[in-house]
Amino acid sequence: MLHPKILNLIILIFTRFLLTQSSPLVPALYVLGDSLVDSGNNNMLPTFARANYAPYSVNFPGKIPLGRFNNGRTVTDFIAEYLELPYPRPYASTTRTNWNGSSDTNLVKENSSKGRNYASAACGILPETGTFLGKCFPMDEQIGMFKRSIDYELAPVFKSPGELLQHLSKSIFFICAGNSDYLQNYFQTLFPSSKLYNPPKFAQLLVDKLSQQLKRLYELGARKVIVTEIGPLGCTPSVAKNPSRMINLQGNNNGMCDEGANNIVSSFNNQLPFMIENLTSTLPESLFTIAAVNTFSYDVIMDPSIYGFSDRSNSCCTTWWNDMLTCVPEQSPCPDPSKYIFWDGYHPTEAAFSMLFNQWVKDPSTCFPLSFKQIVES
């Protein structure tokens, strides 16, 4: 009988083979963002923000800790499955990426015609975010990596610039950013951000910078772009259980969530629709939409039993500093992660990600102004 790990790995390889042989709904899926969607770009970097060790990925096919910050699949893995595409490989695993973001493009010749993941844990929209944890790739560097993918991986594949642009214009670009700009910047006493900016001003700073970055992606060929809201960060174990280690949020802690933190985050989410509307109206043939995260996630946390969860406030894995950080290596997690909303101090479990993605697919109002299906089928 085959060892379970070997069997799971065979299943993963076979599944990916089937996906690559089918006709996907879009040509490719390109992912940029933070640890919620990082699939291994931080693995070789000098940083504390890494997840390439057990018990991470304990429920991922093959149980190999490739760098995902939960017990299994992330939301972008579910998106890839829906689109009938392979999981986008982390850019840093296909090139010898240096700490300054440059890469030896001659090392690996694999092209990214079906997608690539550029997300980097701890990093964010602002270049200084997360730097106290070590090296990571902020959004500007991730876009630079995507540019190198175009120049060295995609351009040789297509016969003409027109074919390449057609490929990019039909592909999905998924952006999950801003979470770290609060958790690893604004909420941290190590940074002066909370002293320099009130919540609306900091949100405006993030939105203005993100708008510039999305315009740069558009100039590189992106047309169909999904941008996520920021979730209720005050409900993560890292914030709800450890407010004294962060700035004085001056909110009411109801035992499950720090509402001060949630109110601060809402400033960003409230400004997103205006940015998206402006981009859509000024960039020809662009399709931008927002994937709602905050309200649904908050509802799940407030009434978890309705959604099949039994624990809404604790991490499934054993973490450093009372749920403040990531999993302690090689420690056994909770027996049934599917009953937990949070895997570690920051990140949802695979079950929580699955529920969020299914909500986008089932309920057209959870992505706006275009539904998830509309932007895929456009």
Cα torsion at 336, 341, 343, 347 (round to 10°)?
160
Could you give the domains of the chain?
A: 4-377 (3.40.50.1110)
Cα–Cα distance measured from residue 161 to residue 370, given in angstroms and rounded to the nearest whole number: 28
Output the furthest CA–CA distance in the chain (Å, rounded).
62
Contact assessment for residue 119 and residue 33, using Cβ atoms and an 8 Å cutoff = yes
Task: State yes or no: pLDDT of 114 exceeds 60.
Answer: yes
Contact assessment for residue 186 and residue 128, using Cβ atoms and an 8 Å cutoff = no
Task: State yes or no: pLDDT of 108 exceeds 70.
Answer: no
Active-site position among 57, 347, 354, 371: 347
Q: Please give the average per-residue pLDDT across 294-312, as a whole number.
A: 96
pLDDT level of residue 21 (50, 70, 90 thresholds)? low
pLDDT at 365: 96
Give me 20's structure tokens.
């690559």
Cα–Cα distance measured from residue 149 to residue 295, given in angstroms and rounded to the nearest whole number: 35
Cα–Cα distance measured from residue 266 to residue 285, given in angstroms and rounded to the nearest whole number: 29
How long a stretch of residues is the chain?
Answer: 378
Q: Please give the average per-residue pLDDT across 216-238, as a whole number.
A: 97
- Indicate if the alpha-carbon torsion angle 275, 280, 284, 287 is positive or negative: positive
E-assigned strand segments in the chain = 29-33, 96-97, 103-104, 115-117, 172-176, 224-228, 287-291, 311-315, 340-342, 367-368
pLDDT at 112: 83
Whether 77 sits among the annotated catalytic residues: the reply is: no
Active-site position among 181, 238, 344, 371: 344
pLDDT level of residue 105 (50, 70, 90 thresholds)? very low
pLDDT tens readout for residues 317-359: 999 877 778 999 999 999 999 999 999 999 999 999 999 999 9
- The lowest-confidence range among 97-111, 130-144, 180-194, 299-313 is 97-111
Whether 167 sits among the annotated catalytic residues: the reply is: no
Active-site position among 34, 35, 267, 315: 35
Whether 344 sits among the annotated catalytic residues: the reply is: yes
Give me 158's structure tokens.
């297509």
Buried residues in 260-285 as b, exposed as e (16+ CB within 10 A): bbbebbbbbbebbeebbeebbeebee
State if pTM tops 0.75: yes
